[in-house]
C-alpha cells in the first residue's frame, strides 16, 4: 500500500503498510511484520470508478436500423442517410435517374472535408430530400432509391 522512510533518534526505518482494516494495520518495518492497533478507525481513500455506457457508432441514428435496404433485396425502396452533420456541396443525380451500386450521388462537406456519398444499391432515384447548400444532421435521409 504505502511506503515510508522514517528516521527516529538517528535510526533509519523502512516502513511498508501492507493492509488496513478498521483500526488494525499490518505493517512491515525493515523486513519484520507487525500487527498494530490504532486508536481511531482509519478511513481508506478509494479512487472512484468511472462507469461508461456502451457506445453506439455515431453513424447509426438507431443501432437496429440499416442505413439502406439490402442491395440484394428484390424490391422496395432504400434510404441513403447522412453519416455526418454537414452541408450539401453538390448533387450528381436528379429524381428519375437510374443509378448503379457505387455511383456517386452527392458531395457532403463535413468537418471541412468533402465526402462523396455513393449508392449502395441499383435502382431509380425516387426522391431527393436535400438541395445544394442545405445544412443536414447525422441520420437525415438524403436520397430514396427504389426499383
Do 83 and 137 lie in a common domain?
A: yes
**Beta-strand relationship, 104-110 and 113-118:** antiparallel
- The per-residue pLDDT for range 22-80, each reduced to its tens digit, is 778 888 988 889 998 877 766 666 677 777 776 655 555 555 555 555 555 445 578 88
70 in a structural domain: no
The reply to whether 48 falls in a domain is: no
Question: Is 49 within a domain?
Answer: no
Domain carrying residue 105? 78-146
7 or 69: which leads in pLDDT: 7
Mean pLDDT computed over every residue of the chain: 81
pLDDT at 1 (0 to 100): 67
Q: Is residue 137 part of a domain?
A: yes
Q: How many domains does the chain have?
A: 2
- CATH number for the domain including 142? 2.40.50.100
In a domain, 129, yes or no: yes
- List the one residue out of 141, 19, 124, 44 whose CA is nearest residue 88: 141
Provide the sign of the torsion angle of the four alpha carbons 71, 135, 84, 52, taken in this order.
negative
User: Residue 47: inside a domain, yes or no?
Assistant: no
**pTM (2 d.p.):** 0.47
Average pLDDT, integer, range 118-129: 90
Amino acid at each position: 500500500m504505502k511506503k515510508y522512510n522514517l528516521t527516529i533518534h538517528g535510526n533509519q526505518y523502512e516502513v511498508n503498510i501492507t493492509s488496513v482494516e478498521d483500526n488494525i494495520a499490518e505493517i512491515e518495518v525493515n523486513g519484520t511484520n507487525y500487527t498494530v492497533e490504532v486508536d481511531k478507525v482509519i478511513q481508506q481513500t478509494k479512487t472512484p470508478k468511472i462507469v461508461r455506457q456502451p457506445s453506439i457508432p455515431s453513424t447509426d441514428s438507431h443501432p437496429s436500423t440499416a442505413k439502406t435496404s439490402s442491395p440484394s433485396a428484390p424490391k422496395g425502396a432504400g434510404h441513403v442517410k447522412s453519416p455526418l452533420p454537414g452541408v450539401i456541396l453538390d448533387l450528381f443525380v436528379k429524381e428519375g435517374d437510374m443509378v448503379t451500386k457505387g455511383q456517386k450521388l452527392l458531395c457532403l462537406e463535413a468537418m471541412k472535408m468533402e465526402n462523396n456519398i455513393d449508392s449502395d444499391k441499383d435502382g431509380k432515384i425516387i426522391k431527393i430530400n436535400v438541395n445544394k447548400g442545405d445544412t443536414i444532421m447525422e441520420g437525415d435521409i438524403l436520397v430514396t432509391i427504389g426499383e
